[in-house]
Structure 1
Amino acid sequence: MRIKKLYPFKQLTLGACILMLALAGCSSIPAESPENLVGTQESGKASYYAMKYQFRTTASGERYNHFSSTAAHRTLPFGTKVRVTNIENNKSVVVKINDRGPFIEGRVIDLSRSAFDEIADLDLGVIEVDTEVIR
């Protein structure tokens, strides 16, 4: 019986496939659809994207635009609509989740520049908010 030897590039491809499958099983993103999450609330700090991120690709594949009402959240599915309310003045804005983050402890959401500006003075930089999934 003759054993066929795999070429190194085929071994690499097989190893890469196994690694991708293993990592996919470790995903922390919920499998739930946004409809099942309606009413989910969270409180914490919100910040906004710096100008240097304008037109960069987000985790969802969309380009970031600071004129759009979008946001980053660690776990909510892309496309989820979230009402974000500034607890100091009760102003709110509805944003669509299209990116991952924030990656700073204590922050629950990163808003686009225009979304943040609708509910607070940009000079504040970080504000306390309540969030609620609406769809």
Structure 2
Amino acid sequence: MWQKNKIYSAAVAIFLIFFTPALTPSVSTAAGPVTEGKASYYANRFHGRKTASGETFRIHDFTAAHRTLPFGTSVKVTNLDNGKEVVVRINDRGPHLKSRVLDVSPAAAHILGLIGKGTVNVRIEAWN
């Protein structure tokens, strides 16, 4: 029985090594997943606090919070109301409101024309 388990484990390991990259969707190209929804931005009071990735949040960095994308993933965010775009790096988890798909830093919010509006409609595309 032990020998069968060892062979089975080796077969699973080989399968995972060779086939998992092909089964996993890429999040590092502009042709990656696209999401649309509402985005908001972090309040300045979070400056200097730790993010879920362990980084220190800085209001002048182009970063964002997303519920599922891996930390370090770059995404292009397009404001669907005015066409402005910015590329941000995911370094936190959120947003905590289910009606929103992304929280961006104040620096990114400024570029998108989000400051003063609270939320805007955005398109999120995985980016290089």
Number of the residue aligned with 2:4: none
Structure 1 residue runs without a partner (length 5+): 1-30
What CA distance in whole angstroms lies between the structure 1 residues aligned with 2:114 and 2:55? 26
Which TM-score applies when normalising by structure 1?
Answer: 0.73
C-alpha RMSD of matched pairs (Å): 1.9
Aligned mate of 2:26, from 24, 36, 50 = 36
Number of the residue aligned with 1:111: 104
**Percent of aligned positions that are identical:** 46
Q: Deviations over 1:9-48 (max 9, x none)?
A: xxxxxxxxxxxxxxxxxxxxxx98x981231100000000
What are the within-5 Å matches in structure 2 for residues 1-135 of structure 1? 36-37=26-27, 38=29, 39-135=32-128
Q: Deviations over 1:93-126 (max 9, x none)?
A: 0000000000102200000001011011411011
Choose 1 or 2 for highest CA Rg.
1
Q: 1:63 to 1:35 in 2, by over 3 A?
A: farther
Q: Give, in angstroms, the shift of residue 51 of structure 1.
A: 1.2
Count of paired positions: 104
The amino acid across from 1:91 in the alignment is K
